[in-house]
Structure 1
Amino acid sequence: MRRRLLAFLLIPMLVLLLLDALLTYTVALSYSNHVHDRDLAGDAQSLAALLQHDAVPGEISSQARFLLDYDPDGRSYYSIRSRLHGPVSGNAALEMHGVQAHVDQAPTLFDSRLGHTPLRAATVAITDPRNPQDVLEITVAETLHDRHMVAREILLLSVPLQLLLIVLLLGLAWLGVNVGLRGLEPLTDRLARREHTLAPIDDSDVPKELLPLTRTIDNLFTRLRELMALQDRFIADAAHQLRTPLTGLALHVERAQAHANNPVLRDALHHIGRLNGRAARTARQLLALTRAQTPHPEDERMTTLDLATLLPDAVGDRVHEAIAAGVDLGYEGTTAPLQVRGNAGALRELLDNLLDNALRYTPREGSVTVRLHPADHEHGAGFSVEDDGPGVPDEWLPRLGERFFRVPSSHEDGTGLGLAIVQRIAERHAATVVYARSPSGGLLVNVHFPAAGIDA
């Protein structure tokens, strides 16, 4: 937009500069012609006055000859002609083109030529003081060089000033465009700070020229909200509807296993139960993901939470699972309060998904460690979950957190939704999630809260 505005201003200004230069030269040449015509007519009248006092007929005085011959560039010509006797004196045969002056009248100005050189001439007629019956025609001419030279000098004096004026105007235009475009900065900043909200744009500080754009964006946001709400309702309804038959199927599988004597049947029922549990877990995680990415009134009510209390409680609740899986589950941190603004239920679900992911992929006799990082009022604080499982190849780390994404080399059962839920809950709390390799080769997940949300 800035380039287009400046180009729209610059190109017409350059065209105007060329037109103005042409107009200036034309006016300057007209003014120079006027001045030189006046001087030329004055020279003709002066010569006529000198001739009227000459003592010898047909000759001009030394003063008159000096007036006519003095020209440092040699561009002045004169001719004295008697109507009865023809040429009397002169330094050039000037073409009159039928021009005839009248006695005792103002000089007549006309264009003439000397060979191929164009001239400007002035002629005046006087009565011959030695012969009253005769008339002398005095013609003075000059080349057009001085006229054009004066016009060029005027042009060269005016063009730099006009160019300076245009440069100043362009500077003012550049400043005006930049200042005018700064009106977009509040809107740009507000849109940049948005993460997952599709609320209408506040028009209070939007220039009225941009209102059609913001209203079009609001209409797009409305359609997106409707589509996302429809998608979320579908996922929630489908997951909810699946929970009941899956629960019933699990009960019937348990009953059948209790009364199954056939080893083949018992093995088949075991696989059915495992697959049923996986489907039930997928339904639960779909519900959790829907809650994590759909704004709810209770999620907006953030409270002050103590990570130094929340983390040990979450780890303690999973100790029995860790013991059953043969995994050493540990916690490292201080007892000093480390408070953040957040939703207790959402953060607890974030921790549960990280622990579930770590316990699932950590082999027997492995370890999972939850660490609380101390507060830093400049860089914030947070916690990490580290395991010594198989880890994730570096090329797949950036994709962790995508819905339904699972590392291709993974052989464990999973839905690819656990880390997606973690990512959405972290975004709700303005926190960042960073995935990396742990020193032991497993997965290290860092959850970092910004300094603005920390109260240590």
Structure 2
Amino acid sequence: MRARRQSLRRRLLTTLLVPLTALLLLNSLITYLGALIYANHVHDVNLVNDTLTLVQLMTNKSPDGQVTPQAQFLLEYEPEGRNYFSVFSEHHGLIAGNPVLKPPRGLFADGHAPQLYDIQIERHALRAASIQMVNPREPDDQLEVTIAETLHDRHQEARQILLLSIPAQALLIVAAFLLVWLGVSTSLRQLEPLTNQLANREHGLAPIGDADVPVEILPLTRTIDGLFARLRGMLALHERFIADAAHQLRTPLAGLSVHAERAQASSDPTTIKDALNHIQRLILRANRTSSQLLALTRAQTAEHEAGDTERLDLATLIPELVGQRVHEALAAHIDLGYEGPAGPLHIDGDRHRLQELLDNLIDNSLRYAGRGSVMTVSLDRENRHICLAVEDNGPGVPPSWIERLGERFFRVPGSEEQGSGLGLAIVQRIAEWHEARVRYRSGSDGRGLRVEIIFPAADQT
């Protein structure tokens, strides 16, 4: 089954309405507790007043300290529960009422003021009020008068208050729900102009911009603009690659066609062999040019992201890579060597990209330095940087052309060697990927060419 599509409206409403419902429950609990506190206060006041009234009746209406049957009925009557009272004499014990309802010891230690406390009789929780008075019949005797009532009426009144408040609270929640629904729907409609703008735009990858975009959506639109920018860059690179490939491969392909026609039109073995030799050289040239174009495109499209690099020791890596090219240098009659410190030289980089960078530098010297030349690959530390240099003592590059080294397809005028003009451009891009700088200088004693790559040294942590 197809997974249910997520809805921003549903998520917003759920995020807002669930807390509102919880707030209603919490508010109901708070209302009930507030009503119970209020009911307890009112009943406590009434309980104290009833106790004082009973004391007054016993003093004025019943000099013998007895409670009339009519008063006892009124004291104990409760339609849905039961009330209790008791009168205890200090000398005679229980005079009237319930014998279990006796004030605790030490209740009147601070005087004769009415005292409120909680007790339990016959599994009933009660609230009691007690007062101490002088026995009208025996002035030296003390009477403890107590009236207690169940908590039924208090809870019932609190529930009534809660039931009266719930409709108003529910109505408030419904109104809040409608307002939230209206607010969410209205806010989401603000996305419609942005949607229409994206749907009707003429330039599909043009930036959206920040105009008329809600603040909350800006991170999304700016992320989309960043994606569009990367896509534009990739498309531009692809278009440039196609144009470059067409430009660079046109000459060797035309040469291939010419020499193939020569071989077909001639029956002279010498002419045919010469044409085939030219065809082979042109094929090698086309193959190298296409490889260089692909390498340049990879170097330009690769982005330096976290996790792409590793800690590398150039003092170990560079001699190993140079050693792989010694046989090729000997075949070209070029003396290839290495110079560097014994200690480690660490950078954060990519091994494969560094190998491609060094190969292009060595290829450049092998191609243009000439037979009998000396090429030296060296490493050195410059403060917080590490310098990788490839130097030869060949013809070099005139000072007027050194600034153009590293441009795509640039070849020094007058050079007899065939090349694509992409090697140093690839070096430039790979160096930029490593946040390094490229310097072009004349070699020692003003002869040859020295190419330096200045890498930032890795933090020694």
TM-score by length of 1: 0.49
